[in-house]
Amino acid sequence: MEERTPVKNQSHLLSWITLACFAAGAALGLLWPGLFTYIGFIGTIYINLLKLMALPILFCTVFNAAARGIKSASRTLLKTILLFVVLFTASFLLCSAVYLPLAPGKDFVLTSGEPWSGTVADLSLNGFLESVFSPNIFASLSGGAMLPSILFAFFMGAIAQKVDAQKLCGLMDELETVFSRMLSCILWLTPLGVFTLMGKCTADFGAGALGGALSYVLYAWGGCILVFLLVMVLPLWLFCRIDPITYFRKTGRVLLTALSTCSSAATLPETLRTCREEFNAKETVTGVVAPLGCTVHMCGGAVSFCLLALFTAQMTGRPVSVGLFLLMLALAEALNMAAPGVPGGGIVLGATYLSLLGMPDLGLFLGMYAGVYRLLDMAYTSLNVAGDVTAVLLIDRWEARKKA
């Protein structure tokens, strides 16, 4: 314990420095946008470094969690999936309770802008399963396909325990230690990375570039903040005795990283560090819940799909019946789980969602949506990451109560 205190103090200092750089980058991007034309590449390098470490650390943590106890890891996996569904559904229903009476899209009129010219994803259960069960694990690892990598690492760890492959388990333990030390070095670049990423973001958008999309962005951020407080923070306060101030203090750096990178994969190393070092969550829980959550648990997606569906329905005058609402929820849950197999990210998923709901051609609206998606993604990704931390802590508490 005495050895870890200086590390935690350094971590908290780095969090405050990161917060200051976050604010400075956002302000300087508005005041001197030309600067980030020249230094914006630093933020890209920072994201690349985080993604570089994400998969090796993910592979080792999932392998080690399975190798240390396959029965415990399997039970944790099932509990995790159940909790993900509950949190996603709660987030969707909470946002619906706000967006339905407020009707944000009722009087929305969009008369200018470039229509979206992309294509929706061709989704099928067969295609999704084929993308999950990759024929080439090395291609999956090199391509950043996280779900196939998680499944392979879990299976490999389970078999290693079964055949008592102690040398392999020892090697994976040592690799995880080495990768974690490498990550610690990279994380010292967080203030610089956050500074350039936020500066580039505000420089690209400017103070008045939102136009008619401002109301949509505000509703999205409002929904994310509400879900964050009631679905993420409140359960931890009630069931884990983690008060909001402690939660904000300990998750500050991981949330700032998510805000600036807009990537759950790039934030995963910081998520793992936060759960282990700040909240002392067990390795066997963190090693399963956090990597899986980074891939298929997206409460930010619940807010995104809910607002997108209700906003466009209200904008086009389509009544939201009970049947349509249940379809919205079911498709949102399915797309949320299938997201790792869909190329193109949130914009393609949004267009696919509207297409599956039978919404009319909304090319101009989707053009606006694509234009401000970076600002939306900042909120959605941060909520996704907060959901991962919350899930880790709830499962960890659940496991601790069972053993008590």
Q: Give the HSE-up count for residue 293: Cα atoms under 13 Å, Cβ half-sphere.
A: 37
Supply the pLDDT for residue 74.
Answer: 78
Angstrom distance (rounded) from CA 159 to CA 175: 19
Per-residue pLDDT band for 210 (boundaries 50, 70, 90) equals low
Pick from 27-31, 124-128, 363-367: least confident: 124-128
Supply the pLDDT for residue 125.
Answer: 65
Q: What is the DSSP string of 293-346?
A: HHHH--HHHHHHHHHHHHHHHHHTT----HHHHHHHHHHHHHHHHHGGG-TTHH
Tokens of residue 254, six digits: 């991981």
Supply the pLDDT for residue 245.
Answer: 93
Tokens of residue 321, six digits: 């019946």
Reported as a single tens digit per residue, the pLDDT across 283-327 is: 888 988 988 888 777 899 999 999 999 999 999 889 999 999 999
Query: CA dihedral defined by 65, 66, 69, 71, rounded to 10 degrees?
Result: 130
Who has greater pLDDT, 36 or 213? 36
Reported as a single tens digit per residue, the pLDDT across 349-361 is: 888 899 889 887 7
Angstrom distance (rounded) from CA 308 to CA 302: 10
Is 90 exceeded by the pLDDT of residue 37? no
Angstrom distance (rounded) from CA 60 to CA 65: 8
Report the chain's terminal Cα–Cα distance, integer Å: 23
Per-residue pLDDT band for 343 (boundaries 50, 70, 90) equals very low
Angstrom distance (rounded) from CA 316 to CA 107: 10
**Averaged pLDDT for residues 119-125:** 69
Residue 144 Rama label (left phi>0; alpha psi -120 to 50; beta): left
Angstrom distance (rounded) from CA 206 to CA 174: 47
Is 70 exceeded by the pLDDT of residue 139? yes
Tokens of residue 141, six digits: 């690892």
Is 80 exceeded by the pLDDT of residue 114? no
Angstrom distance (rounded) from CA 141 to CA 145: 6
Helices (H) and strands (E) in the chain, counts: 19, 0
Average pLDDT, the chain: 85
Is 50 exceeded by the pLDDT of residue 281? yes
pTM for this prediction: 0.87
Is 60 exceeded by the pLDDT of residue 1? no
Reported as a single tens digit per residue, the pLDDT across 72-81 is: 777 888 888 8
Supply the pLDDT for residue 222.
Answer: 96
Angstrom distance (rounded) from CA 122 to CA 130: 13
Is 90 exceeded by the pLDDT of residue 87? yes
Angstrom distance (rounded) from CA 302 to CA 306: 6
57 Cβ neighbours under 8 A, 6+ residues apart: 176, 179, 180, 183, 268, 269, 272
Count of residues making up the chain:
404
Full set of structural domains in the chain with CATH: 4-403 (1.10.3860.10)
Tokens of residue 23, six digits: 């604010």
